[in-house]
Structure 1
């Protein structure tokens, strides 16, 4: 600040109205800069400016010249912190009923994924597992072993054949017969 500005600040600190108005006018670019940087929403620019002016007036009231801090540094920091804290506290809230999309045909609630457990789906899956277990009991031990190794343990036909000591074609035929039995049993149950 130059000497003239320091005189103006001293007059403003003493409460001279004209000096306060001049000081606010000189600090207007600072207020506008911080209000835009820290979230002036469209249509609220004037409100944000007025809040900045109030912060300057409070800074004049609270300023302590004995601390040897330049007034411009003090008020600048105070305004910056004011807008920063305001933005931090004023989080935007969205209504789940708000329209979304270009056509605005849906709402946020429509596009949110339901992560709750689907009891009906779980019951159906459990019932299907019981049906499959019952069907597996209808197979011979050899057929059941081949189906389990192939579909649940992801072994190849060659690996199963090597384990059982039989030809891979025999394993394939036994698996095919087992699948026919399973299909027949499950069609009867469903």
Structure 2
């Protein structure tokens, strides 16, 4: 029944988009369904999906969409031109940096666990969760000066113990 309404309301060119919209309508129906209303779930879903197709159907009219652009397409007509995929920046850190970071964490982990709890919370929140000292202060209900002091003392503890373990 639902597919027939899709085929009746949506041009074949847009079936894939309409199918995705229909799936979203089903998920929305699941989220919003209230059994106390006395409506069968299957009828409720059918009504939601049909309404989705009625609403979306008018947006599927008009010119056909452009075909998707392949990342394997050459950038220019030149023989040795790269592809569009070559133009995408790689934001991942170099593998060597990742290995160094993992080794550093392996060495620091026992020291961080050995920190007094108040210092450890500030160090973990700042360096591993990316929170600023002001955000940590607001979150913990502390003054910014207190958090700054705990941060400095935590770093000093790590520095002293890291040099002792070398």
TM-score tier, shorter chain, comes to: 0.3 to 0.5
Larger Rg: 1
Q: Which has the higher contact order (CA 8 A, sep 6+)?
A: 2
TM, length-normalised to structure 1: 0.34
TM, length-normalised to structure 2: 0.39
